Structures are given as structure tokens and as C-alpha cells.
């Protein structure tokens, strides 16, 4: 799994950082998403996909490596 984020699209809802803090964080400067782990460990895949689905502006993309 490979994760990418579009910080320009992000509105800072924080749902991703709350759901999977090992993969996502929020910038203290602007509140937008910060990608902590581009290739999450397998035990984080399901939660990472759910976070992408819950993003209100589809700023998270999950694909294959």
C-alpha cells in the first residue's frame, strides 16, 4: 500500500489523524494533513483505507506500491 495526500485540497477536519495517528498527523501551522508514513505496515491498511474513505474532501489516495 502507498498513501498520498493532497494538502491543497485538505480542509483540516482531522478525521484521518484521529483514526490512524501512525499514518497521519495535522500540521500545527495550518491544521492540514501531514503524511507520517507513506507505506503503512499491513496491520494499518484497513484503518488507512477507512480514513481515506471518511475524508470529506477526498484528499487521501490509497494505492498499490
What's the pLDDT score for residue 10? 98
| pTM for the predicted model, two decimal places | 0.93
8 vs 22: CA distance, rounded Å: 21
What's the pLDDT score for residue 2? 98
What's the pLDDT score for residue 23? 98
Q: What is the pLDDT of residues 19-65, one digit of tens each?
A: 999 999 999 999 999 999 999 999 999 999 999 999 999 999 999 87
Domain assignment of residue 58, given as a range: 2-63
Cβ–Cβ under 8 Å, residues 56 and 1: no
**Number of compact structural domains in the chain:** 1
CATH number of the domain encompassing residue 59: 3.30.70.20
Nearest in space to 53 (alpha carbons), one of 22, 6, 16, 8: 16
What's the pLDDT score for residue 22? 98
Amino acid at each position: 500500500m502507498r498513501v498520498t495526500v493532497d494538502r491543497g485540497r485538505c480542509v483540516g477536519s482531522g478525521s484521518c489523524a484521529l483514526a490512524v495517528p501512525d499514518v497521519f498527523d495535522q500540521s500545527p501551522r495550518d491544521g492540514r494533513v501531514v503524511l507520517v508514513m507513506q507505506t503503512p505496515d499491513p496491520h494499518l491498511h484497513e484503518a488507512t483505507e477507512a480514513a481515506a474513505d471518511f475524508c470529506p474532501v477526498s484528499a487521501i489516495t490509497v494505492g498499490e506500491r
